[in-house]
Amino acid sequence: MPVFNYKALDGKGEQTTGIIDASSPREAREKLRNRKLFVTEMVAAKRRKKAGAGDDEGGMIRVGDGAGGSVTYSFRDLGNKLFLGSARAEMVSVTRLLSTLLKAGIPLIDAITSVINQVSDKYLSTVLRQIREAVRGGVGFADALGNHPELFDPLYINMVRAGEEAGALDDVLSRLANFMQAQARTKNKVSAALTYPIIMMVLGGGVVVFLLAFVVPKIVGVVQKRGTPLPLPTKILITVKDLFLSWWWLAAILFAIAFVAWNLFTRTENGAMFRDRNKLKLPIVGDLFRKQSVARFAHTFATLLRSGVQATDCLRILSSVVDNKLLGKVLLEVRDRIIEGQDISTPIKRSQVFPPVVGDMIAIGEESGSLEELLERIAEAYDEEVEITTTKATSLIEPIIIVMMAGIVGFIVLAVVLPLVQGFKF
> b/e map of 236-261 (b: 16 or more CB within 10 Å)?
ebbeebeebeeeeeeeeeeeeeeeee
Considering the chain, what is the average pLDDT of its residues? Answer: 78
Residue range 332-387, pLDDT digits in tens: 888 888 888 878 888 888 877 788 888 888 888 888 888 888 888 888 888 888 88
Give the pLDDT score at 321: 73
Q: What is this structure's pTM?
A: 0.61
Contacts of 56 (CB under 8 A, 6+ apart): none
Residue range 195-210, pLDDT digits in tens: 777 888 888 888 888 8
Residue range 267-296, pLDDT digits in tens: 888 888 888 888 888 887 788 888 888 888
Give the pLDDT score at 317: 80
Residues in the chain with pLDDT values less than 70: 1-3, 13, 21, 23, 45-85, 422-426
Give the pLDDT score at 426: 39
Cβ-contact 11, 36 below 8 angstroms: yes
CATH homologous superfamily for the domain 187-426: Type II secretion system (T2SS), domain F (1.20.81.30)
- Every domain of the chain and the residues it spans: 187-426
Contacts of 158 (CB under 8 A, 6+ apart): 142, 304, 309, 313, 317
Give the pLDDT score at 257: 95
Cβ-contact 20, 4 below 8 angstroms: yes
